[in-house]
Structure 1
Amino acid sequence: METITLIADRDAKSPVAEAYRTIRTNIQFSNIGQELKTIIVTSATPNEGKSTTISNLAAVMAQAGHKVLLMDCDMRNPTQHKIFKMTNKGLSNCISANEAVQTLIQKTGIENLELLASGPVAPNPSELLGSHRMEQILEQLKPDYDYILIDTPPIMPVTDAAVLSGKVDGLVMIISSGDVTPAVAKEAKQRLLQAGTHILGVILNKVEMAHTHGYGYYYYYGSESTSGGDVRRQK
């Protein structure tokens, strides 16, 4: 197996890896008293860093001793199999061809972290993610993992994240600083709320280093019912 290049795995003592650990802590304490096992990480628009964020977050959760499944539900532009250098056979095979999900889960090379890739690009992703079969898969997998982290397409271009959000325990949204206007961010949030999504918080990504005394920052804001904190990330 080729070496994984995730910074959370390659350089665990770096400020960037520490940022992901802080995000991990915020998520773990964001829903005390209620189950928080299935979590979507998405973005408002494309190219905001959601797939990089969720893969590193999965890595630091696994490093903490949690058994983690990273599920790539972006059937339009699947990425996780590329990050982990694996075969892209997975979720769409399971839903469309009714293949057993356990046979499609792959070891990542990081202890406690497994991957269910997206599988071949599907012509009808929203319908697949909203299907009863998708609900069955999630329920089947939940007893085997402490956390299931789910990568989905961005909110604004397509409905996939909103469709799937009603089947999970919470959602974290990535916003790229300088690339997404407040109006677009608010519209993305409104679409999720209309779908009944439990928004855990927002991570502000790609903040310019010059504005933060040598560090970029993520900001993780809790939803109305939770408190948030800021999360450092070196750019």
Structure 2
Amino acid sequence: MVQSKRKIRNKKRDNYSPISEQFKLIRTGIDLSGIDKKQQVILITSPESGTGKSTVASHLAVAYAEKGAKTLLIDADMRKPTLHKRFSKYLYPGLSNVITGEIPLEDSLQDVNFKSTSLSILTSGQIPPNPNDLLSSKKMADLIESLRDTFDKIIIDTPPVTIVSDALALADSTDGVILVCRYHKTLKEKAKHATNQLRLSKAKIIGVIFNGTKNAENYYY
């Protein structure tokens, strides 16, 4: 169920592919789960590396942009940033540079050109010595709050929740979390541990996506 970065860049020519339709269903599920509270800022994480969480974050951002939402995709996985490669953008300036005040936000946002969509990306920026210090800072919380006034939907890609605490540091500033597991890879115990970690941080878990299934029917949300 995972598309390559080449296919993500070419998505404007394939808006009705099975993977595109699947993410539209996921988008609808998220929207329905937020009837009482708008799911404006969504954090994407996983129990372990190799689940395809960054690909899920990318497709979900595209799905919202295609719907007409002014969408921002943030790469907060400063330890292993990948979103700049997926969309053929610069690594920096980016998030770390904005938080430290080196570069203004408006000079760090990069537009993703899909026909009739409004999608921007904030790449991770220069990799800092300790990403958690930046992500758990008041400046990061204030940045997310200010972005709410500019964007309809904000998707944040973060590192695996059981490996480092970066996702937990951000969870309180978001409206919900999606946990991405991989079919035939993620063990039940790891998924449960990740869920417990998120609940302890008082994160609102919107749902779980099982990536790598053979058909859409098993792609559970």
Q: Is 1:54–2:60 an aligned residue pair?
A: no
Q: Matched residues in 2 for 1:145 and 1:188: separation? A: 29
User: Which residue number in structure 1 is paired with residue 48 of structure 2?
Assistant: 45
- Aligned residue identity for 2:7: T
Supply the distance in 1 between the matched residues of 2:174 and 2:202 (Cα, whole angstroms): 11
Within the alignment, does 1:155 sit opposite 2:161 as a pair?
A: yes
Counterpart-to-counterpart distance in 2, 1:135 and 1:9: 33
SS of corresponding position for 2:97: helix
The 1:14–1:154 alpha-carbon spacing in structure 2 relative to 1, beyond 3 Å, is same
Does the residue aligned with 1:171 lie in a helix, a strand or coil? strand
Q: Which residue of 2 aligns with 1:5?
A: 7
The match for 2:76 is 73
In structure 1, what is the Cα distance between the partners aligned to 2:11 and 2:200? 34
* Structure 1 residue 150 displacement after superposition: 0.3
Q: Deviations over 1:121-166 (max 9, x none)?
A: 1111111100010011111111111100000001111110111101
TM-score, with length taken from structure 1: 0.87
Cα distance in 1 between the residues matched to 2:56 and 2:11:
10
Q: Structure 1, unaligned stretches of length 5 or more?
A: 221-235
Q: What amino acid maps onto 1:109 in structure 2?
A: N
Q: Determine the C-alpha separation between the residues in 2 that align with 1:169 and 1:83.
A: 25
Runs of 5+ unmatched residues, structure 2: none
Q: How many residues are treated as equivalent by the alignment?
A: 213
Listed as ranges, the matches of 1:87-166 within 5 Å are 87-89=90-92, 90-110=94-114, 111-166=117-172
Q: TM-score, normalised by structure 2?
A: 0.92
- The CA distance in 2 between the partners of 1:149 and 1:43, in whole Å, is 14
Amino acid in structure 2 at the alignment position of 1:219: Y
Structure 1 runs of 4+ off > 3 angstroms?
7-10
Equivalent-residue separation in structure 2 for 1:94 and 1:185 (angstroms): 33
- Tell me, in whole angstroms, the C-alpha distance in 1 between the residues paired with 2:63 and 2:135: 27
Q: Paired residue for 1:219?
A: 220
Shift of residue 115, structure 1, vs aligned partner? 0.4
RCO (CA 8 Å, sep 6+): is it higher in 1 or 2? 2
Distance 1:217 1:11 in 2: 22
Residue identity over aligned pairs, in percent, reads 37
RMSD: 1.5
